[in-house]
A and B are shown apart, each in its own frame.
Chain A
Amino acid sequence: MKTAAVKPAFNVDELRAQFPILKELVHGKPLVYFDNAATSQKPRRVIKAESAYYATINANVHRGVHTLSTKATEAQEAAREIVRKHINAKHAHEIIFTSGTTAGINLAAASLGQLLLKKGDEVVISGMEHHSNIVPWQLACERHGATLKVIPITDSGEWDLKQVPFSGKTRILAISHVSNTLGTINPVKKLIAQAKKQGIVTVVDGAQAIAHLNVNVQDLGCDLYAFSGHKAYGPTGIGVLYGRDELLERMPPWQGGGEMIDTVTLIQSTWAKLPFKFEAGTPNIAGIIGLGKAIRWMEDYDKAVMARHEHALLQHATKELLAIDGLRIIGTAKEKVGVISFVIDPSSASGSGVHHYDLGTLLDQQGIAVRTGHHCTQPLMDRFGVSGTTRVSFACFNSMEEVDTMVAALKKAIKMLR
């Protein structure tokens, strides 16, 4: 973070003015955007940075000796340093640019699988993981004859720490920092410490944490940490996989191609040094620069201050929602980000339950964007015995008035449907 700059006081109107999309109308009504866990909206500074790159310094990186290539390379490497500092990695070469969390975890699973997994070994995940942090491990386990073990989830939507299935055969722990469906902030540091004692390599899915928490990878003690730019006010198609350099050195490359090699003959190749060993092909240069801007923007506004505002929204919305007859919140952990998943159960007073698809459709008609369905966490839906939920998820630019608008619209929708 910039040391000298004085943080601007938190003013939601001033913040909202920086997001051009918030002026859009949906079905003739002002947009209320409560689907930030899927992707957050972008401030003007980020949108401008991407187009300025194309308008002024577009060139391929690390290849040309010409001026534009040098400028593009410098801009990309400056963004890498911004990311390094932001998550407190030791070295810039521990920051690997990927297309997103999904790509980061696939890289981790494929490469770690090859490095570590043998027949009979075990990989531990939790029961609240996004499909992106399940399927790559299933593929790796299948390939190497390993088995996936799962930390069970309690009724409040937290890890059951008494039932962590570590064994002498556990090689990898892959867990989410924050649940996209429940909003639960998981005690990752504690579990990582436990894993480390047993020599287990730890991978964190930080997709939902990066916009809301100050992430410090050295303090967490994780080996790998993945996140996406688009969930943290940055562009789509860009993400980061942080890896501890000693481990990254030992991991085999995932994808082969240009940029990632040192020498190539038709028989064999040698790998480029970190981070380029894991960055095959032309990177998303505009996205990388946009991501750097988004991180700077979050630092300027201070995530802790934004998180306090989001927490106030969470508390207000939780209270208002719980007053609706039959409404049940799935995910009631003490430590949560601004995410509320709920279902409408049948109630003796008001009659039938309400399907999330109906709610989502009627909220949309009123200009309100929420997510409905299983949120790419089908095992978690099974755990709670529901086919899906309606999820509202907040970002720093959301206001209390928007929460009230949503609650009123929800009541109207439920009335139409019951």
Chain B
Amino acid sequence: MFTDWQDRYEHLIELGKDLPLIAPEHKTDDNLVRGCQSRVWLHPEPQNGLIHFTADSDAMITKGIVALLVRVYNNRTPQEILGASTEFIDKIGLREHLSPNRANGLSAMIDQMKRYALADSAKP
């Protein structure tokens, strides 16, 4: 999609600016994503069988990444979230963020979204 690193990251930073921002009262430790070098908050809200996400981060690239994920996973059913493929990550050239290096948090964010979805789908 992008060949030049600068375009790719500028796009990501722009994406971050459109992120549906988490309300300050939801910036709690419970909503912190463990395993990121920057702080990331992710807040799920079930609405009519769909999960609605808001989020924020203190780093701009991380904010762009979480915005990308929110775009993909927002307002979906728990089953859709649990079944979603992560192929789009390769397409946008972010595979390096999925490496097992604990300093970056993309996989931790996806895990957390899926965990919310799983918990929600387990509700009666």
Which positions in A face B, CB cutoff 8 Å? 27, 355-358, 360-362, 365-366, 372-373, 387-388, 416-417
B5 touches A27 (CB 8 A): yes
Residues A387 and B58 in contact, CB atoms below 8 Å apart: yes
Give the size category of B's interface with A: 10 to 19
Closest Cβ of chain A to B74, distance in Å, is 24
* Number of A-B residue pairs having CB atoms within 8 Å of each other in the complex: 41
Identify B103's interface contact among A355, A365, A366, A373, CB under 8 A.
A373
**Shortest beta-carbon distance from B104 to chain A in Å:** 8
With A365-B5, A365-B9 in contact, is A358–B37 under 8 Å at CB? no
Closest residue on chain B to residue A354 by CB atoms: B60
Chain B residues with CB under 8 Å of chain A are 5-6, 9-10, 13, 36-39, 58-62, 103
A387 touching B5 by the CB < 8 A rule?
no
Which of chain B's residues have a CB closer than 8 A to the CB of A388?
37
Which B residues are CB-close (under 8 A) to A417?
Answer: 13, 60
Evaluate contact between B60 and A373: CB separation under 8 angstroms: no
User: A355 touches which one: B6, B10, B59 (CB < 8 A)?
Assistant: B59
Q: Shortest beta-carbon distance, B32 to chain A, in Å?
A: 12
17 contacts between A and B (CB under 8 A): A355-B59, A355-B60, A356-B37, A357-B37, A357-B59, A357-B61, A357-B62, A357-B103, A358-B59, A358-B60, A361-B9, A361-B61, A365-B5, A372-B37, A373-B103, A387-B58, A416-B9
With the chains together, A39 CA to B122 CA distance in Å? 46
C-alpha gap A14/B103 in the complex (Å): 35
The answer to whether A358 and B61 have CB atoms under 8 Å apart is: yes
CA separation between A356 and B58, bound complex, in Å?
A: 10
Nearest chain-A residue to B38 (Cβ)?
A: A357
> Which residues from chain B contact A361 at a C-beta distance below 8 Å?
9, 61
Provide the residues of chain B in CB contact with A355, threshold 8 Å.
38, 58-60, 62
- Complex: how many Å from CA A365 to CA B36? 19
A387 to B61, alpha carbons, bound, how many Å?
A: 17
